[in-house]
Structure 1
Amino acid sequence: MALPTRLRTRATASVVLTTSLLALLSFVAPTAAQADTTQPPAWSIDTVDSDRGTGRPNFSYDVNPGDVIADAFTVTNTGPGALNLTIYAADAFTTATGAVDILENGEPSVDAGTWVAPGAGSISLEPGASVDVPFTLTVPADATPGDHSAAIVASLLPGDSTDQVKVERRLGLRIDMRVSGELAPTAEIRSLATNWGASGVNPFGGGTTTVSYELVNTGNVRLASLEDLRLSGIGGSAGVALTGGEIPELLPGSAVTITREVTSSAIGPLNGALTVYLQPVGAFTDVPVAVTADLSAFALPWSLVVLVVVLLLIVAGIVFWVWRRRRPDLLMAGYSSETGPGSEQLAPPRAGGAALALIAGIALALGVGLTSPTPAVAEPAPTSSSGIVEVTIPAPTPVQTTTAAPSTSASSTAVPSTAQTASPTSSSGAGSGSSTGNGSGTVGGGSGLAATGNETLAITLGLGALALIVGVVFLLHRKGRTG
């Protein structure tokens, strides 16, 4: 029996739709499975065991000017596809955040990066393959004593990858060299600034002082530094101390920015000192070199200003009310029993009203100008032409110092991060140079801080209170004369 035309049309459309869906699913499923198995390129880098050491996290050498050292590292392709990697060396430095990094590819090196010559400029690796890459380190004959740091990297440049990522990805190993000679552990504190802010609406709740500065390694040795920060109020009240704060390892010529917050209940002038103890990495000294700088700020909660202004207005209102009540008595005192009604008598001068008007005006001006004071910001105070600050040497305290570099394992098989160099912890072998222990500390850009802003507000507030006291004394004096 033949189906009606309408039913045949519906059946045909249903078959076509089902066939199309099956075809679409058969096309999408392999694509999804392929996307799930797609992995980005990955590789690892590690030192090669030799008579110089086994299991080394990085390369560290004690050298003399003119030395030539041969060593090698291994690169392993841990990803699913073939790799074309570029090999190069570059100068290392400490970033403002305390991490150790190297110069970007193409940026010329001027120090240890120029001493390292890789045995190959590029390598190609199939999945799972490894290769040892030799390199030669040539120390110049005129190399200066102290620490010189670089890194050798295996880099995946843009265009060498098939994952459409157009950034450089690199893994590297640090190369730390200590050239024999006299070590000079010195540093400078620069861009020192303080900023005070109230903790809340409580006028006596104190606040937080933020201290920020830049520590610059001006010497020739890597530094592992400790920080000592102390602040107190008037007469040493509400003293607070932050001691033992570790500062990241600082390579010669590099700078790191440090920010600390100190909470204190002190009100008014704040004074203190910042001391940084400098300890050379790998060259322990019994008495570390110290660099110091004075701190100064002014703590004035806005809620306390409002409270003082309100109290001034209340006192002024009470005095004015008392004066108004006494005024009729003063006028009646002008008519004595010796003069008859209608006799002319001069009324007392109204100087008290002028004094009260002055007091009220000052109080209102304070109320408008001080209800929302900005936090006190300190600025560098004038310093001597030499810029040298006195060094404070504490009692000898032998403390084992370790480096603050990141402890990333060089043999990690994780996917390389974008534009970063793996910086394993440096080896802590004893340096061939001896520390002199007499390095000087200087403070660049000012050796202290002079608080600005809120001290002017305090002076104005004091003048207002003085005017109020003078007005009250004047009124009491008039009362005594007319009573």
Structure 2
Amino acid sequence: MTASPGSRTDAVRLRAAVARLLAVLTLVIVTAALGPVPPAGASAPDPASQVSWSVSPASAEGPDGRRTIDVAVPPGGSVQEHVLVRNLSEHAVTFDITANDGYLTASGRFDMRPRSHAPVEAGAWVDVVSTLELEAGASAVVPVLLQVPADATPGDYSAGVAASVVTSADGLVSTEHRVGVRVDVRVAGDLAPALALDDLEAHYVQSWNPFAPGTVTVSSTVANTGNVRLRSEVSSSIAPWTGSALSVATQTPDLSPGAQTPVVVTTERVWPLGPLRTTVALHPAADTEVAAGADDIAPVVQTFTTWALPVPQLLVGLGALVVVLALRSAVRGRRRRLALLIAEAKQAGIAEAAGRHGAVGDA
């Protein structure tokens, strides 16, 4: 049997399509085996070009085990401190040594102002060398002279001393990397520790499971309105109109004078029983033992009512009531229909009996 020209053409086209498919599959397999091709000019970072260093408090002889520098100085006085800078890199590095005012971030962590921000308080009282060059693996003790102005007001101040390097990659924007030490300064004089509790709000969060309790979330802002560095504890007590109170507490970070931090206290397993007597208390505590008068700070207490409406439970009760009413209506309807059928049967029986009686009389 001889194949027609049309059949031979179809076979040729089929073999060509199969060949193209095999070529594409081969290309995909080879590409996956080789992995992604790096862009032109890209290369792995050279460990020899990496910069690593550390900064820690020290004495004139070397590291002394402190984590921060904490000093007390009278107005117009001065104190000599030191920091140790270690070059952990595999090559020589020139570090910029800077000092600036310290502050707390939104998460409560300490940081120092960037170089673009001129110091106005404790950062301006610190005198250090501007640059330090260290060979690979070398370290050096850097003198830190703290000079407090004669007109400085009593209280706590924070600053930072940092060693930094500026890097740039392929002509991109330069980035400053800093590693530093916190410097806490107490200017002697009359101390007035004080804290404030602001922006107080409480919300009941429902659990839409009617058989599970909800939570009460109390949010506030703790502000240091005095001149002493303080930390505190914020406690929340939730008391329903029946049953015992539930109490939860959380710690705040230490706050420098003028600083503030948001605080959220969450109390779980609170049943929605209507009005909840909510008491929020702020208990201050001195951050250092030399905070005279800190133990005498009275707690800040605020009491108010938080409403916890049993919405899921009410919905379940309403649903159950609807079901009961529907069943009651159905039962009543069935009874009415049954009574109607019985009455109709009685009437039919009476009529049938009357008909039979008339037929017998006629006979």
Alpha-carbon distance, 1:79 to partner:
0.7
Deviation at 1:318, TM superposition (A): 6.6
In terms of fraction of residues, the more strand-rich structure is: 2
Alignment check: 8 A CA contact 1:93 1:101 kept? yes
Using the alignment, how far apart are the partners of 2:170 and 2:67 within structure 1?
A: 31
Q: Which residue identity is paired with 2:111?
A: D
Q: Is the 8 A contact 1:95 1:255 kept in 2?
A: no
1:272 is aligned to 278
Q: Which residue of 1 is the match for residue 107 of structure 2?
A: 97
- TM-score by length of structure 2 reads 0.71
Give the structure 1 partner of residue 239 of structure 2: 232
Q: Is the 8 A contact 2:62 2:141 kept in 1?
A: no
Are the counterparts in 2 of residues 40 and 163 from structure 1 also a CA contact under 8 Å?
Answer: no
Q: Judge conservation of contact 1:149–1:175 (CA < 8 Å) in 2.
A: yes
Match of 1:75 in 2: 85
Gap change, CA 1:36 and 1:135, over 3 Å in 2: closer
Q: Displacement of 1:99 after TM fit?
A: 1.0
Shift of 1:34: 7.8
Tell me how far apart the structure 1 counterparts of residues 120 and 332 of structure 2 sit (CA, whole Å).
Answer: 81
Q: Is structure 2 residue 187 aligned with structure 1 residue 179?
A: yes
Structure exhibiting the larger radius of gyration computed from Cα positions? 2
Q: Which residue of 1 aligns with 2:264?
A: 259
CA offsets, 1:243-265, max 9 Å, x none? 4x322111111111112211134
Specify the SS of the correspondent of 2:253: strand
1:249 corresponding residue in structure 2: 254
Provide the rounded CA distance (Å) in 2 between the counterparts of 1:162 and 1:169: 17
SS of residue in 1 equivalent to 2:152? coil
Q: Give the alignment partner of residue 311 of structure 1, picking from 320, 330, 336.
A: 320
Residue 157 of structure 1 is matched in structure 2 by 166
What's 2:349 paired with? none
From 187, 196, 200, the equivalent of 1:188 is 196
Partners of 1:103 and 1:139 lie apart in 2 by: 19
Structure 2 residue 137 is the aligned partner of structure 1 residue 128: yes
SS in 1 for 2:71: strand
Partner of 2:53: 43
SS of equivalent to 1:227: strand
Root-mean-square deviation (CA, aligned residues, Å) is: 3.4
The CA distance in 2 between the partners of 1:52 and 1:65, in whole Å, is: 28
Q: Take 1:109 and 1:168, find their aligned partners in 2: how far apart are those partners?
A: 18
Deviations 1:189-233 (A, max 9, x none): 1222223223351x1421111222111111101112123221021
CA gap 1:286/1:60 in 2 versus in 1, 3 angstroms: closer
> Which residue of structure 2 aligns with residue 343 of structure 1?
none
* Alignment counterpart, residue 298 of structure 2, candidates 285, 289, 292: 289
Q: 1:281 and 1:52 mapped to 2: Cα distance? A: 27
Q: Which residue of 2 aligns with 1:214?
A: 221
TM-superposed CA distance for 1:286, in Å, is: 4.6
TM-score, normalised by the number of residues in structure 1: 0.54
CA contact (8 A) 1:186 1:289 kept: no
Q: Distance in 2 between matches of 1:34 and 1:231?
A: 57
Tell me what 1:143 maps to: 152
Please give the residue correspondences for 1:25-44 in structure 2 after superposition, counting only pairs within 5 Å: 37-38=47-48, 40-44=50-54
* Distance in structure 1 (CA, Å) of the matches to 2:332 and 2:247: 52
> How many Å separate the matches in 1 of 2:43 and 2:275?
68
Q: Which moved more, 1:169-178 or 1:279-288?
A: 279-288
| 1:211–1:260 contact (8 Å) kept in structure 2 | yes
Gaps of 5+ in 1: 1-30, 329-483
Give structure 2 stretches of 5+ with no counterpart.
1-40, 338-363
Distance 2:325 2:216 in 1: 35
Of structures 1 and 2, the one with the larger relative CO (CA 8 A, separation 6+) is 1
SS at match of 1:310: helix
Partner of 1:148, secondary structure, is strand
Provide the C-alpha distance between the structure 1 equivalents of 2:45 and 2:224, rounded to a whole number of angstroms: 49
Matches within 5 A, 1:398-409: none
SS of 2:178 mapped into structure 1: strand
In the TM superposition, what is the alpha-carbon distance from 1:106 to its structure 2 partner? 0.8
Taking only the aligned residue pairs, the percentage that are identical comes to 32
Alpha-carbon deviation of 1:91? Answer: 1.0
What is the aligned residue count? 294
Q: Which residue of 2 aligns with 1:475?
A: none
Pair 260,39 (structure 1): closer, same or farther in 2 beyond 3 Å: farther
Relative to structure 1, is the Cα distance of residues 278 and 265 closer, same or farther in structure 2, using a 3 angstrom cutoff?
A: closer
Equivalent residue letter for 2:284? L
Residues 385-464 of structure 1 mapped to structure 2, 5 A cutoff:
none
**Following the alignment from structure 1 to structure 2, what is the Cα–Cα distance between the partners of residues 191 and 39?**
49
Amino acid in the other structure paired with 1:178: R
Change in CA separation of 1:316 and 1:281 when aligned onto 2, cut-off 3 Å: same
Cα deviation digits, residues 259-294 of structure 1 (max 9, x gap):
221113422222221111111222265544311222
Question: In structure 2, do the counterparts of structure 1 residues 252 and 52 end up closer, same or farther at CA, with 3 Å as the change threshold?
Answer: farther
Distance 1:150 1:175 in 2: 5
